[in-house]
Amino acid sequence: FFFSSRRRHTRCSRDWSSDVCSSDLLCVVGVSGPVAVGKSLVTSRLCGDAAFALAIGGPVVLIDADAILREARRKPGPLRDAIGALYPPARLHDGSLDAHLLADAAFADPALLARLEALQWPIASAAIAAARTAAKKDGAALLLVEGIALVRSGLAAAFDALLRLDAPREIRAARFAARGGTRSDFDRRDAAQAGLATELRDAGAIEIDASGSPELSVAAAAEAIRRVCFSGDDHLRTRR
């Protein structure tokens, strides 16, 4: 939930007469959406879909920005120290952070959440830049960046496209419960993301209906990516 560099990258020159992207070109696509909408399921399946990789002309690479930040908060280092100094009650005797206490405090205090996020955007930005460099070197065709706060962090400014997965609240609540979460925790997280849909729409994100089966969600996301990045559709490029 925590998440700034707004540095833009140079768009590759593509031959739009082809339906696939050649292996020396890389499209960067953000995948966002509210809690329990299925972001990780969709991105992981796209990453492992050999037929999709063949259709777009190269491998798919995934970076989970939220997971990167969770790990950065867990490990000893400047970020953990800065968070502990900002909110001392979350710092444990060994220097680690009480993740649950920190989350409770952040969700209850928007100002604290904003200050915590501001500490972390540069880390996410650097990780995405490194993943982009590695993906290009390896000849990948697509880099997927999964995360919640991709827009307000400024990270999405450097993407070629942005997808917004969405599903009705009760469907997402049921999915959250199925993976062991409580209803109160879901309600708290969902409330903290109240403006996310508007934020993503205003950024020009393509909506993906994630209310049905995983197969339908993955197929819809794959088609949107293929259309925008690999067939010359300018729908999202008007944002840039």
Q: Are 42 and 212 in contact (CB under 8 A)?
A: no
* Residues 6 or more apart in contact with residue 230 via CB below 8 angstroms: 19, 20, 21, 27, 55, 56, 57, 141
**What φ, ψ does residue 44 adopt, rounded to 5°?**
-65, -40
What is the reported pLDDT for 42? 98
Please state, in angstroms and rounded to a whole number, the distance separating the CA atoms of residues 136 and 152. Answer: 26
Angle formed by the axes of helices 110-137 and 78-86, to 10°? 170
Residues 6+ apart with CB under 8 A from 5: 121, 122, 125, 129, 154, 155, 158
Token pair, residue 178, equals: 């199925």
Q: pTM value?
A: 0.85
Per-residue pLDDT of the chain in tens (240 residues, 90 and over written 9): 343 222 223 223 233 233 333 345 899 999 999 999 999 999 999 999 999 999 999 999 999 999 999 999 999 999 999 999 999 999 999 999 999 999 999 988 989 999 999 999 999 999 999 999 999 999 999 999 999 999 999 999 999 999 999 999 999 999 999 999 999 999 999 998 999 999 999 999 999 999 999 999 999 999 999 999 888 554 444 333
- What token pair was written down for 203? 């950024």
Calculate the dihedral angle through the C-alpha atoms of 51, 137, 126, 238, rounding to the nearest 10 degrees: -60
